[in-house]
Structure 1
Amino acid sequence: MNPIAKVVPSLDWMTIVLFASLVVMALGKYLYHARFLNFIILPFNDKYVLLHNKKGQLLNWFHILLTLFQVVNLSLFVFFALKAFGALSGEDPLWIFFMVLGGLVLFQLAKLGLQSFTGFVFNAQELIVGLIFSKTTYLNYSSIILFVANVILTYILKDSKTVIYGAFILIILINGIGAIKLLKNYQKAMFPYFMYFILYLCALEIAPLVLIGSYLKG
């Protein structure tokens, strides 16, 4: 009987990434306990957005910690999705993860810069900052779903397309609830900038989701 070499991919770096992101979330909960309690019930009660949607909140440390948690888990989830659908090359998985992480960070920074510039051009900085904060807050909340999905994809159901589809649907649902509440809260303020808002949704929000959905479907 000839021996068969069985290569088991190392989970060390994935465990470190998941643990580090969990530490970031725990740190936010420990340092800003009251805010965290309002944040954790966000889909059912938008008290967090209404209370904290003020000038400078994008640079608040609690918001920064949650955004970091979101970016890290989104990057790992994208990595797992690429792996499950056979889109990874033969490069080092850790290197691919860092490439995805860097790409997402650059994309979000570029989008933030474009949104801020547009708000300056239309003299609607306060409105734009409020929209960015509300949208990012719901995306940060949906990263809790991403974390759970990442744990499952790492240790339980590896390369499971069902988990990926399920997490994607839940993320769309959570952010859809956020979009409805955002429109409700800002309907009067956004009316003078209605055309800009439609262009913003199509170019920077809907288009990436359509591309991702088309890829997964294909």
Structure 2
Amino acid sequence: MMEPVEKTIISIDWMTVMLFISLVVLALGKYLYHKKFLNFIILPFNDKYILLHNKKGQFSHWFHLLLTLFQLINLSLFLYLVLRTFSLLPDGEPLTIYFILLGFLALFELVKFLVQMFTGYVFNNTVVISGLIFSKISYLNYSSIVILLTNILLIYITTNSKTAIYTAILCVALINGIGVAKLLKNYQKALFPYFVYFILYLCALEIAPLVLIGSYLKG
């Protein structure tokens, strides 16, 4: 006699909704600011977007805000999927956990942004620092396109694939590595007097969080 086996079905409806919202945000940015979007989409291969739009008020421009929202939605979903894949999700409603991750990530990026701007104020070099921040956020926003594609794979095609996660992390690191290399090239003269402080800044605000996350996943 066959015994009934309980089958757990994980709802992906809310994930679909979040992916749809992020695509709407991206499409809205493309529709409203078509020229900016065309410059943005070739960012790793051409610095035209950074050179043309790196000016006063760039952080409050709607195109930049839309791309940052797109990044936050997808990066939070990616973190959720990573935690699920490595069986590290805390107990609770999946959507609630996702919004906690989204809120934490948004708060983290906001605090980091304020600390960076304060650093520029302390060194009396706000213009250069704001340019550096804009460049880094732009490359992070660009890499969120890769994260979007990975989210789609992890949700609908290769569920719980660690290979997809590692590949996505490698691609994101490569894209942002290109950004850092171009950033150092473009601002080498301005950064030279503060080189030691710049290295300390990278260790404290850029590398340390990644090390902590990696250690958490490994544990």
Q: Per the shorter chain, which TM-score range?
A: over 0.9
Are residues 1:193 and 2:200 paired? no
Q: Which amino acid aligns with 2:110?
A: L
**Pairing 1:34-73 to 2, within 5 Å after superposition:** 34-73=35-74
Q: Which amino acid aligns with 1:38?
A: N
- 1:212 is displaced (CA, Å) by 2.8
What is the TM-score of this pair, normalised by structure 2? 0.96
Q: Which amino acid aligns with 2:149?
A: V
- The root-mean-square deviation of aligned C-alpha atoms, in Å, is 1.1
- 1:55 is displaced (CA, Å) by 1.2
Match in the other structure for 1:124: 125
Q: Which amino acid aligns with 2:200?
A: L
Q: Which moved more, 1:188-197 or 1:49-58?
A: 188-197
1:63 aligned counterpart, secondary structure = helix
- C-alpha separation in 2, matches of 1:177 and 1:35: 20
Relative to 1, partners in 2 of residues 1:212 and 1:177: Cα closer, same or farther, differing over 3 Å? same
2:89 aligned counterpart, secondary structure = coil
Q: Which amino acid aligns with 1:206?
A: I
- C-alpha separation in 1, matches of 2:88 and 2:140: 25
Q: Which amino acid aligns with 2:131?
A: G
- 1:46 is displaced (CA, Å) by 1.1
- 1:196 is displaced (CA, Å) by 2.0
- C-alpha separation in 1, matches of 2:58 and 2:120: 16
Percent identical residues: 66
- 1:7 is displaced (CA, Å) by 1.9
**Pairing 1:47-196 to 2, within 5 Å after superposition:** 47-196=48-197
Q: Which amino acid aligns with 1:148?
A: L
Instruction: State the aligned residue count.
Output: 218
Are residues 1:13 and 2:25 paired? no
- C-alpha separation in 2, matches of 1:58 and 1:186: 19
Match in the other structure for 2:30: 29
- C-alpha separation in 2, matches of 1:209 and 1:179: 16
- 1:116 is displaced (CA, Å) by 1.1
Give the unaligned 5+ runs of structure 2.
Answer: none
- 1:210 is displaced (CA, Å) by 2.1
Moved over 4 A (4+): none
Q: Which moved more, 1:2-11 or 1:167-176?
A: 2-11
What is the TM-score of this pair, normalised by structure 1? 0.97
- 1:217 is displaced (CA, Å) by 4.4
